[in-house]
């Protein structure tokens, strides 16, 4: 059986759904194809954190330039959130780790506001969303099809997508936003995505409300989510490790020490795999006529979502998003 649409988006994480939501808002016939279930965007803390990412993971070649890119991505969020009905929480972040005076100095040097507090440092520039609620908002009204795309091939002036169940979808354009698992692709696309590396990540959820706003420390964070708190996160090169008990224990030990807890108590572990490139920025752009990429945001998928959606939509529409 063959169906058709104007634009097929492969992948229902924040990048795929962000692109689909923008296209849908412009009246385009777009269909998101995804196997369903949890993905790296839903298994996340929902942080929009240009300041702490710039502090803790600076780009050696140009840390100020990288900080400016992340800050510009953050600044797209208010309009993007309003446009798609996403609750944007702008409560800032506390640094509760070592060397607070040095942290203030480094943040200010990167162009971020920061102030010393009794607990450490407060920075108002990092925001957050509830990831599950935000994904639901982005998917509102967008056609969805459950399935795994196994092959993408050029077919005349269109693209033909073959699904695992044998069904086919014909589309005038395709957006590949499938994380680190790719279908069979034309050679030019395969060469473009071969640089994507898999990064596994685990975070722990406790029903206890340990913080009232995000708190960062060396090697981890604690973020309010619902009635509880998420503690994250591991970074496992190559994907999720088969045995990660030691990593998990170390993360909880760092969190307890930073939050002043004797023990964490029972937690539920959540895990996912995201893509990353060597420069840590998303892989976007048209690699063949009508085939666009929206991939590999490392751990900054939520931060970079509106920027990637804007770039990809502009490529498909021939104009800006916002």
Helix (H, G, I), strand (E, B) or coil at 10: strand
Give pLDDT, residue 19: 98
Question: In order along the chain (322 residues), what is the average pLDDT of each group of 10 residues?
Answer: 91 98 96 96 97 90 93 98 98 97 97 97 98 98 97 96 97 96 97 95 97 96 97 96 96 97 95 92 95 96 98 81 35
Domain boundaries, the chain: 1-46+129-196+278-322
Q: Sign of dihedral through CA atoms 136, 141, 145, 148?
A: negative
Superfamily (CATH) of domain 1-46+129-196+278-322: FAD/NAD(P)-binding domain (3.50.50.60)
Rg for the chain (alpha carbons), in Å? Answer: 20
Q: What is the pLDDT of residue 321?
A: 37
Residue 48: how many other CB atoms lie within 10 Å: 25
Q: pLDDT at position 317, please?
A: 86
The pLDDT assigned to 188 comes to: 95
What tokens does 319 get? 């104009």
């Amino acid at each position: 059986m063959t169906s058709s649409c104007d634009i097929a988006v492969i992948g229902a994480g924040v990048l795929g759904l962000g692109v689909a939501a923008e296209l849908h808002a412009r009246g385009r016939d777009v269909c998101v194809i995804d196997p369903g279930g949890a993905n790296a965007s839903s298994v996340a803390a929902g942080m929009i954190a240009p300041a702490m990412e710039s502090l803790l993971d600076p780009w050696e070649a140009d840390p100020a330039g990288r900080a400016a890119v992340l800050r510009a991505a953050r600044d797209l969020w208010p309009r993007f959130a309003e446009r798609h009905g996403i609750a944007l929480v702008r409560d800032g972040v506390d640094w509760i780790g070592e060397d607070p005076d040095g942290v203030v100095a480094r943040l200010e040097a990167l162009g971020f506001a920061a102030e010393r507090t009794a607990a450490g440092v407060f920075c108002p520039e990092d925001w957050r969303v509830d990831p599950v609620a935000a994904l639901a908002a982005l998917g509102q009204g967008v056609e969805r099809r459950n399935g795994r795309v196994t092959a993408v091939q050029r077919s005349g002036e269109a693209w033909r997508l073959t699904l695992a169940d044998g069904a086919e979808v014909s589309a005038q354009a395709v957006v590949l936003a499938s994380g680190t698992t790719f279908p069979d692709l034309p050679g030019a696309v395969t060469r473009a995505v071969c640089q994507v590396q898999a990064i596994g990540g685990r975070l722990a959820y406790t029903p206890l409300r340990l913080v009232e706003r995000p708190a960062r420390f060396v090697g981890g964070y604690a973020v309010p989510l619902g009635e509880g708190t998420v503690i994250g996160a591991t970074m496992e090169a190559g994907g999720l490790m088969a045995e990660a008990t030691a990593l998990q224990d170390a993360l909880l030990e760092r969190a307890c020490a930073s939050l002043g807890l004797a023990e964490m108590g029972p937690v539920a572990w959540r895990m996912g795999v995201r893509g990353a490139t060597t420069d840590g920025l998303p892989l976007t752009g048209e690699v063949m006529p009508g085939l666009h990429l929206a991939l590999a945001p490392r751990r900054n998928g939520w931060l970079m979502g509106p920027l990637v959606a804007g770039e990809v939509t502009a490529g498909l529409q021939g104009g800006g998003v916002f």
